[in-house]
Amino acid sequence: MSSDVYAVSNISFEHFCDYYRRQVEDQLAQLETPLTFSDLQEAMCYSTLHGGKRVRALLVYASALCVGKVVSLTHQAAAAVECIHAYSLIHDDLPAMDDDDMRRGKPSCHIQFSEASAILAGDALQARAFEYLSGTTIHAERQLRMVHILAQASGAAGMVGGQAVDLASVNHTLSLQQLQRMHTLKTAALIKASVQLGALSSANVDQKMLDSLAVYADAIGLAFQIQDDILDVTANTMILGKQQGADAAQNKPTFVSLLGLEPAKNEAAALKEKAVTALQVFEGRAVHLEQLADYIIDRDY
């Protein structure tokens, strides 16, 4: 079936998610191609192929469909953002970082393998992301722009920079503005890059479209983190697939600790409204992006 079929609005959200999760997992299955060091490869596959909601990949596809159609570069972009995401989770769980033994309902990568293997698997997945994006040169100029966006979003000016602020903030009081700034880097930057990459993979989008998508992505990126903080206090460990209450145990400032539970929920809902409003320029073609905005604040893990 052609991917374009999923641009129409009468496809259920569940169907859209199932279909495109399978699509990105087909791309990621390339990681199983035998390498020389099998322990490294096993650790990469363990942390990438099994589990995860694939929110970032779904954002890539939904954004591509919003401005055009899914093409092979869209699949490559979806796999690339999932590789960066998987690497960030592996490193985030390490003893030197958040020191979490459980991820996606299973032992964390460094528990299942070794710390050294987990570090290397994360490193290799990061490089693999850029291999996915640059593997063909059919749209070289657009691909270079996409590589640049992903590198910025995942590096010191994005996700890794946010993680550094996070580590430095343990046992410190942060203002709401500082907390937002930290999560804009740590969590929202990769979410924003996913939306941008999806649009760029699909078509020569104009700046007005990219500006609207940026407003959407900034808002859902922060809403995603607020929901994560809410789940840290409301969900149970079994459903979350990771240790519930981990932020409180480490005395980390969160949206819930700063605002309270109900105001945090209200803030997430307000951000979702802002995101959906930014999609109005697409006149009904952004249906999957709208559904993902709902999902991000309604999810229970």
Nearest to ligand GRG of 189, 199 (CB atom): 189
Q: Does 229 bind ligand GRG (CB under 6 A)?
A: no
Nearest to ligand GRG of 68, 158 (CB atom): 158
Stretch that binds ligand GRG, among 69-77, 86-94, 248-256, 273-281 (CB under 6 A): 86-94
Nearest to ligand GRG of 7, 240 (CB atom): 240
Q: Are 115 and 94 in contact (CB under 8 A)?
A: yes
- From the number of C-beta atoms within 10 Å of its C-beta (0-12, 13-18, 19+), residue 53 rates as middle
Nearest to ligand GRG of 67, 149 (CB atom): 149
Phi–psi pair at 23, nearest 5 degrees: -60, -45
Distances (CA, A) of 222 to 70, 91, 216, 257, 301: 26, 21, 10, 16, 16
Q: Are 185 and 153 in contact (CB under 8 A)?
A: no
Nearest to ligand GRG of 228, 290 (CB atom): 228
The span from the CA of 270 to the CA of 277, in Å, is 11
**Closest by Cα among 254, 201, 171, 243 to 63:** 201
Stretch that binds ligand GRG, among 27-35, 73-81, 82-90, 142-150 (CB under 6 A): 82-90
Q: Does 271 bind ligand GRG (CB under 6 A)?
A: no
The span from the CA of 219 to the CA of 175, in Å, is 19
Choosing from 57, 79, 81, 89, the residue that interacts with ligand GRG (CB under 6 A) is: 89
Distances (CA, A) of 86 to 39, 137, 287, 300: 17, 25, 27, 20
Q: Does 228 bind ligand GRG (CB under 6 A)?
A: yes
Choosing from 47, 143, 163, 184, the residue that interacts with ligand GRG (CB under 6 A) is: 163
Contact partners, residue 140, CB within 8 Å, separation at least 6: none
Q: Does 40 bind ligand GRG (CB under 6 A)?
A: no
Q: Does 52 bind ligand GRG (CB under 6 A)?
A: yes
Written as six digits, the tokens of 199 are 């649009």
Q: Does 91 bind ligand GRG (CB under 6 A)?
A: yes
Q: Does 104 bind ligand GRG (CB under 6 A)?
A: yes
Distances (CA, A) of 242 to 72, 99, 107: 33, 11, 9
Nearest to ligand GRG of 211, 300 (CB atom): 300
Total residues binding ligand GRG (CB under 6 A): 17
Q: Does 187 bind ligand GRG (CB under 6 A)?
A: yes
Q: Does 88 bind ligand GRG (CB under 6 A)?
A: yes
What residues make contact with ligand GRG under the rule CB under 6 A? 52-53, 55, 85, 88-89, 91-92, 97, 104, 159-160, 163, 186-187, 225, 228
